[in-house]
Amino acid sequence: MTIYIIRHGQTVWNLENRKQGHSDSPLTLKGIEQAGNVCDILKQENLDYQKCHIFVSPLFRTKQYAQIILENLKINKKLINEEHLIKEHGFGAWEGMTQDEVDKFFPGETEKRMQDRWNYIIPGGGESYEIISKRAEQFLKKFNFNNDKNIILICHEMVSKMLRYNLLNLSKKEALDLNHPQDTIYRYCNEGLASLKNSKD
């Protein structure tokens, strides 16, 4: 079994450096173009989508991204499953804010977070990386890794980090140092992890 981890494309709030979390903003034109690039990568994998489990975060930006991929690759929408365990890191009261706004309205909280990024819970119903790592672990435990079906995930950067943390048995520091460029798919299988990019890039 192979797992493909896809991050949604650029959104308006990505462009404005605003924290999204469980809130939403639509894809930009660049984000829509990135969905096409992801389709080109998947085409090179020659997947039989009837033999794949396809999961998408329930947030609007990932569902918008998934819809573009479905249409491009002619995948039956009945094959798509929404999965709350792969939602993005909740940013609570900080959602929609830039970092400067967070520092203005929540003085001292950024420093507290940086002192213990793994366990710091963001005010106003937010989450910590510890919480997301447990969500990712719970998601991965749902599946029998001897299953002959591949898994395609359309999710978010911070969830992607925590999925790879669990899959690769990384340290917490290694996990926090990860990123997930929007033009890249991560492919995990018995041989390990590979990053896939569009050959035209």
Both tokens assigned to 92: 């609570």
Q: Is 88 a catalytic residue?
A: yes
For residue 6, the cross-strand partners are 154, 185
The residues, any chain, with a CB within 8 Å of residue 101's CB and separated by 6 or more, are none
CB 60, CB 72: distance < 8 Å: no
Annotate 15-34 with DSSP letters as a single string. Answer: HTT---TTS---B-HHHHHH
Opening angle at CA 135, ends 130 and 136, nearest 5: 95
Of the candidates 53, 71, 84, 88, the residue annotated as catalytic is 88
Q: Is 16 a catalytic residue?
A: no
Please list the active-site residues.
8, 88
